[in-house]
């Protein structure tokens, strides 16, 4: 017993060190470049570090953060969801019809979530039951759902929603944009679910070693389907808020969003090979991407430069992960 | 040995498993007595892995009976086998390398607090404490319960997988190649762990290529060849050289 007690006493400081290490694990890749960018941009532009500009940056990142939480779950489970942009577009356009029909906003809200639920369920069934690899299954859904919304709108779009709807996406509460409040809640809850609830543990186990999870009695298919549903419902929530923020709903809404989301998720430390999910890292990465876009804007570079940046970030973040996995540090 | 007096922990009666025209296992019978360590050996393709998969609930057998503590059981999933207190430790599939030691210890059986019907809050502290206590009890030194499994040695991983099965009250432990991919020292420490497990009264069925390990640990050795029991031997009566003859089919003792 004494040797045991000694061992426990000796492991105290290492315990704290290990806690610190496991808490910071995965985030370190993105925290330092973020701090560097913020410092550099503060030096170059005195507009950058103002409260107003920072709130603007976080607001522009908030939709990506909301959708990103779902993608962290999906990628942690060793899946991927490419259909997020199309689901965003279809949910917004369908909900737009209800808003203009004078349906109470709260019902429109639940309708949007229901659309997300159904589309997520379809994604989940394609992957879980038809056994189509997620990369191709959700790529099919990306095209299929985008086609559906284009056909539905047929060159038209929704614009100028009622004021009480618009305020949800454009308004502030206590000086902070509503969108930021929602994104903060989703990120906090997402982090909690992934690290503290049984569901999160199962998702990580499935992503890390699906066979071991199955042997351990975890219903692998069920939890994969749930993660696709969670992803699509969060996309629907984002769509609902974005409609108000833009005060419109185009059938092209969300086009190319998937790259932005996946780049942020991988950059944030979630493993492309499953088993490691980082919600906080993702949120910081989304902020970093928004900062860089903002910096480009302040420097006078336009939208196409943002695309170049995003493609570059996606490739770099994946390359870094592949490199680290080769050196046996896949989870760090 | 008073084998007839007690009920065997595990009994296979004429177990067969066919995949279409292929008879992977074709009528295998043997018993694993309570607290006995049985070795299952055979050349590649002799039917060892298929037999393990039948016993651990992966494939239901085509015909024959499986008895646990004298009661006939039918397994349609690995969970069924586990509920009958048969735990299988697989060579590579047992642990999730990205999760920590305690998480793996409680994989699929997490301690949790229910918040309403669907929200299950993990009791991480309690899981760490109990995993630590159990590993200490069995005498396995893992310095840090927060360590990610991929950072541990092969021997430590195998020890965690074995002690996890013991912890969950297994009466019959099936070990699939427990020392493949382990170094000499690690093999020795895992062998020692298996000896302690057997001494504590758990029945063990080991499938392994390492003949010396089988002779060292087991009391009975079952040699499979072409899907049938080619020989059933007392470990104290045979040498490693004899066993090679049995495996290759140049000697037989049925």
Q: What is the pLDDT of residue B4?
A: 52
Task: Return the CA Rg of chain B.
Answer: 19
CA distance B146 to B155: 18
Decide: A80 and A261 in contact? Cβ < 8 Å.
no
* Mean pLDDT, 10 residues at a time, chain B of 254 residues: 67 88 86 90 86 87 88 86 86 83 90 88 90 84 84 85 82 86 83 88 89 89 86 83 84 74
For each of the domains in chain B, give its residue range(s) and CATH number, in order of start.
Answer: 10-89+172-248 (3.40.50.300)
Q: Which residues contact B210 (CB under 8 A, 6 or more apart)?
A: B179, B180, B187
Q: Is B78–A209 a contact, with Cβ atoms under 8 angstroms apart?
A: no
Smallest CA–CA distance from A219 into chain B, residue: B108
Q: For residues B81 and B52, what is the distance between their CA atoms, to the nearest angstrom?
A: 11
Does A19 contact B95 at a Cβ distance shorter than 8 Å?
no
H or E, element range at B142:
none
| A305 in any annotated domain | no
Domain holding A145, by residue range, is: 63-281
Q: Write out chain B residues lying below 8 Å of A209, CB-based.
A: 93, 95-97
Confirm if B148 and B98 have CB atoms less than 8 A apart. Answer: yes
Instruction: Using the Cα atoms of residue A273, residue A277, residue A279 and residue A281 in order, give the sign of their dihedral.
Output: negative
Q: Is the pLDDT of residue A22 over 70?
A: no
Q: How confident is the model at residue A14 (pLDDT cuts 50, 70, 90)?
A: low
Token digits of residue A264:
């942020």
Measured between beta carbons, the chain A residues lying within 8 angstroms of B107 are: 205, 212-213, 216, 218
- Run of H or E including B14: strand B10-19
Per-residue pLDDT band at A126 (split at 50, 70, 90): very high
Residue A113 backbone dihedrals phi, psi, to 5 degrees: -60, -35
Chain A touched by B82 (CB under 8 Å): yes
B79–A22 CB contact, under 8 Å: no
- Note the pLDDT of residue A329: 47
3-state secondary structure of B3: coil
The answer as to whether A318 is a domain residue is no
Question: Does residue A118 belong to any structural domain of this protein?
Answer: yes
pLDDT band at A261; cut points 50, 70, 90 = very high
User: Which residues are CB-contacts of A223 (< 8 A; sequence separation ≥ 6)?
Assistant: A77, A199, A202, A203, A206
Proportion of chain B in helix, strand, coil states, percent, rounded to 5: 35, 30, 35
Does B121 lie at the interface with A, CB-CB under 8 angstroms?
A: yes
Backbone angles phi, psi at A203, to 5 degrees: -60, -45
How far away is chain B from the Cα of A185, in angstroms, using its nearest Cα?
A: 17
Confidence (pLDDT) at A262 = 94
Residue A1: pLDDT above 60?
A: no
Distance CA A163, CA B208 (A): 73
Is the confidence metric ipTM above 0.85 for this complex? no
Q: What is the pLDDT of residues A168-189, one digit of tens each?
A: 888 888 888 999 999 999 999 9
**Weakest-pLDDT range from A22-36, A268-282, B26-40:** A22-36
Q: What is the pLDDT of residue A11?
A: 54
Q: Which residues of B193-223 are buried (b: 16+ CB within 10 A; e: fewer)?
A: bbeebbeeebbbbbbbebbebbbebbebbbb
pLDDT on residue A21: 60
Query: Are A217 and B109 in contact (CB < 8 Å)?
Result: yes
In a domain, A306, yes or no: no
- How many structural domains comprise chain A? 1
Number of A–B residue contacts, CB under 8 Å = 89
- Whether A17 is in a domain gets the answer no
Using 50, 70 and 90 to split pLDDT, how confident is the model at A20? low
DSSP 3-state of B42: strand
Least confident of A106-110, A121-125, B23-27, B104-108: B23-27
């Amino acid at each position: 017993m004494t040797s045991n007690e000694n061992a426990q006493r000796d492991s105290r400081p290492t315990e704290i060190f290990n806690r610190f290490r496991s808490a910071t694990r995965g985030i370190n890749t993105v925290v330092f470049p973020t701090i560097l960018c913020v410092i550099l941009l503060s030096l170059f532009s005195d507009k950058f570090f103002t409260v107003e500009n920072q709130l603007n940056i976080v607001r522009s990142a908030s939709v990506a953060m909301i959708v990103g939480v779902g993608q962290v779950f999906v990628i942690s489970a060793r899946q991927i969801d490419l259909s997020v942009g199309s689901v965003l577009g279809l949910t917004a356009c369908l909900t737009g019809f209800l808003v203009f029909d004078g349906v109470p906003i709260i019902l429109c809200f639940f309708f949007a979530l229901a659309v997300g639920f159904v589309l997520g369920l379809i994604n989940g069934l394609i992957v879980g039951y038809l056994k189509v690899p997620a990369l191709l299954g959700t790529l099919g859904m990306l095209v299929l759902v985008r086609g559906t919304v284009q056909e539905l709108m047929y060159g038209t779009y929704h614009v100028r929603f009622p004021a009480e709807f618009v305020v949800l996406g454009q308004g502030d509460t206590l000086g902070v944009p509503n969108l930021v409040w929602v994104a903060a809640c989703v990120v906090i809850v997402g982090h909690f679910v992934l690290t503290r609830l049984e569901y999160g543990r199962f998702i990580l186990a499935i992503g890390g070693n699906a066979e071991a999870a199955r042997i351990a009695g975890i219903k692998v298919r069920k939890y994969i389907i749930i993660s696709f549903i969670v992803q699509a419902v969060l996309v629907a929530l984002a769509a609902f808020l974005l409609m108000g923020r833009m005060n419109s709903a185009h059938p092209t809404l969300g086009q190319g969003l998937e790259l932005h989301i996946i780049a942020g998720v991988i950059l944030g430390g979630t493993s492309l090979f499953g088993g490691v999910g980082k919600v906080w890292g993702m949120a910081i990465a989304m902020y970093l991407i928004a900062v860089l876009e903002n910096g480009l804007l302040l420097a006078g570079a336009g939208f196409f430069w943002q695309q170049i940046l995003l493609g570059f970030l996606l490739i770099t973040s994946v390359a870094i992960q592949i490199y680290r996995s080769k050196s046996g540090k896949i989870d760090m | 040995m008073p084998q007839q007096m007690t009920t065997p922990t595990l009994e296979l009666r004429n177990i067969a498993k066919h995949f279409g025209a292929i008879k992977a296992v074709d009528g295998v019978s043997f018993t694993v007595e309570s607290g006995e360590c049985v070795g299952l050996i055979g050349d590649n393709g002799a039917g060892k892995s298929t037999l393990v998969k039948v016993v651990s609930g992966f494939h239901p057998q085509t015909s024959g009976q499986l008895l646990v503590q004298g009661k006939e059981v039918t397994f349609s999933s690995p969970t069924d086998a586990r509920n009958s207190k048969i735990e299988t430790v697989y060579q590579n599939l047992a642990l999730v390398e990205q999760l920590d030691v305690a998480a793996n210890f409680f994989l699929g059986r997490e301690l949790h607090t229910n918040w309403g019907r669907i929200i299950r809050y993990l009791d991480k502290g309690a899981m760490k404490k109990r995993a630590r206590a159990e590993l200490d009890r069995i005498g396995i030194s893992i310095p840090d319960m927060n360590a990610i499994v991929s950072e541990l040695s092969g021997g430590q991983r195998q020890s965690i997988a074995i002690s996890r099965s013991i912890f969950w009250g297994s009466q019959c432990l099936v070990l699939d190649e427990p020392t493949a991919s382990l170094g000499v020292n690690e093999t020795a420490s895992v062998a020692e762990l298996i000896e302690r497990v057997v001494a504590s009264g758990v029945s063990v069925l080991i499938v392994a290529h390492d003949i010396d390990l089988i002779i060292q640990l087991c009391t009975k050795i079952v040699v499979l060849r072409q899907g049938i029991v080619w020989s059933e031997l007392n470990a104290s009566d045979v040498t490693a050289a004899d066993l090679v003859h049995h495996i290759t089919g140049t000697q037989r003792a049925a």
